Amino acid sequence: MNTKRTLIGAFIIFLGLGLSSFKDDDRNFQISKNLDIFNSIFKELDLFYVDTIDPEKMIQNGVNGMLALTDPYTEYYPEEGINSLKEMITGKYGGIGAAIRYYKKKDRIAIVEPTEGMPAAEAGVKAGDIILSVGGKEMLRGNMKPQEFSSKVSEALRGEPGTSFVLKVLRPLKNDSTVMEFKITRKNIRNNPVPYYGIIKDSIGYLSLTGFTDNCAKDVKKAFIELKQRGAKSLVIDLRDNGGGSLQEAVEIINFFVPKGKEIVVTKGKIRQAASSFKTQNEPIDTEMPLAVLVNGNTASASEILSGSMQDMDRAVIIGTRTYGKGLVQTTRPLPYNGTLKVTTSKYYIPSGRCIQAIDYAKKNADGSVARIPDSLTTVFHTAAGREVRDGGGIRPDIEVKGDKFPNILFYLMNDDLIFDYVTQYCLTHPAVTSVDSIRITDADYAEFKKQVKAANFTYDRQSEGLLKTLKEVAEFEGYMEGAAEEFKALEQKLNHNLDRDLDYFAKPIKEQITEEIATRYFYQRGAVMQRLKDDEDLDKAIEVLNSPEKYKEILSVPVKVAEKQK
């Protein structure tokens, strides 16, 4: 009997191995077959198609189509694109240290923001300067798309540290403009991941972290220790709009606040090499200081590892809006001809065991679209103290703060460079600004701004008018218009847009944006952060919580009723 069972068991194992082998063989055949088909189609097109095809462009489109079936983070970088990948990973590049973008009024590229202490700023280049030539070569758009044009100029500005060139710009003046030339020597540029840190409200430290680039943990450590020395008794870490970066740097920063030996992240993938565990390796700096972490919808990846782990370990109060929901990990793989593939190899899981990935890219709709995982399909996990947290949709804050919505008119004012142009002229006529606190947009300043907006024949998409028109068409189609004609007429009168009225109604957010732009021109990124903090609901809530030890402790504890149920 035992022999019979052994034979049956052996047969089942053999059958299973056989099926597995058959599946592998079939998959390998399908791969080989389709690669052969792809190769043959290209050769036939190259040989017989009526016009000459561009082989690089055609193959690139094929590669892009293949990658489109994965996720947005799996990307191919040809040899000429490797520098952008390295910059994204390290935050370093050789260049002049200035942000640029397409300026449609002149069909040129404009300097948007020189970086403090870098070659462009030290040479005297200012935001608003329009690039005419780089190293004697004129920068013209021709038939290029604006994004391609920006890339071309960016590439011309970059180069080996120590090399010099002449940058020719057009500087707009109030009633005229002048051509200026600057001799600039390129150097290694590193984007500062901690643009500002300081003491707010007497003993609360504040630290802005904009990205997890190489060695950013050292910058955070230096800032944190200095804040403690300056008397900080609690700390706000601002991760809003931080799109992530190095997982290892995130773990190292978490280690400043939690004990050595804590498992922070586990990664799991299809192959064994994709599985790993990241633990804190060093003795912490401070495990007791109250912490608040600010997040928003653009807080992603490594930022979510930091905020989510702090939440899972009940080490910080998370404040703001739900984060992006990127729980995927990418690695780089070398390709022929010095190319690189950045490919998603695993998902990461934070201390509670949850993965916060919000979109399942393996389940795309027929049209290729994807949707977030609905809350009803997420799973409950628990923090170290037993608080409920969920997977599948980013990090949900402990305290949700819904800020003001971005006005439609403000988007178009910025998109049409009207705020950019106004601030350029403002800075030329206000050369002496001593501090961020001294920046004020007076009624006279705003009146001048409104005058410039109207002189530019500014128009923008008035969504309420468009929606009302659509509603009228539907009402007529369904036969309701006759009885609602008077109501529609009254509503049309109320929604009749007037530019003067809109500029006055949205004066507060428009003035705030103008002031932030001015602060950036004079005091760079730290100025922008300092200006934003003046009227910041998330920060106000963080200060309120950190100034109340009882409330702080209550948020990080399990509610009494829940605790009784858990018993």
Phi, psi values for residue 104, rounded to 5°: -70, -25
For residue 106, give the 3-state DSSP assignment.
coil
Find tokens 């006529």 and name the residue.
Answer: 429
Distances (CA, A) of 271 to 126, 267, 345, 393: 50, 11, 8, 25
Beta strands at 263-269 and 177-185: parallel, antiparallel or unpaired:
unpaired
DSSP structure class, residue 263:
E
Q: Could you say which of 219, 312, 421, 538 is catalytic? A: 312
DSSP secondary structure code for residue 202 in this structure: T
The tokens for 85 are: 């990948």
312 given a catalytic annotation: yes
Q: SS3 of 564, please?
A: helix
Count CA atoms closer than 13 A to 161's CA, side-chain side.
9
* Total length of the chain: 567
Q: Which of 154, 208, 246, 301 is catalytic?
A: 301
Determine the angle formed by the axes of helices 463-478 and 481-494, rounding to 10 degrees. 170
Q: How far apart are CA 225 and CA 240, in angstroms?
A: 22
189: which strand partners? 93
Q: Cα 95–97–100 angle (5° rounding)?
A: 100
> How far apart, in whole angstroms, are the C-alpha atoms of residue 342 and residue 51?
34
Contact between 438 and 518 under an 8 Å Cβ cutoff? The reply is no
Residue 124 tokens read as: 């005297």
Those residues with Cβ within 8 angstroms of residue 197's Cβ, 6 or more apart along the chain or in another chain: 205, 206, 207, 208, 223, 226, 227
Set 168, 262, 326, 450: catalytic member: 326
DSSP 8-state secondary structure symbol assigned to residue 387: -
Return d(Cα 484, Cα 478) in angstroms, integer. Answer: 12
Q: Which of the residues are catalytic?
A: 301, 312, 326
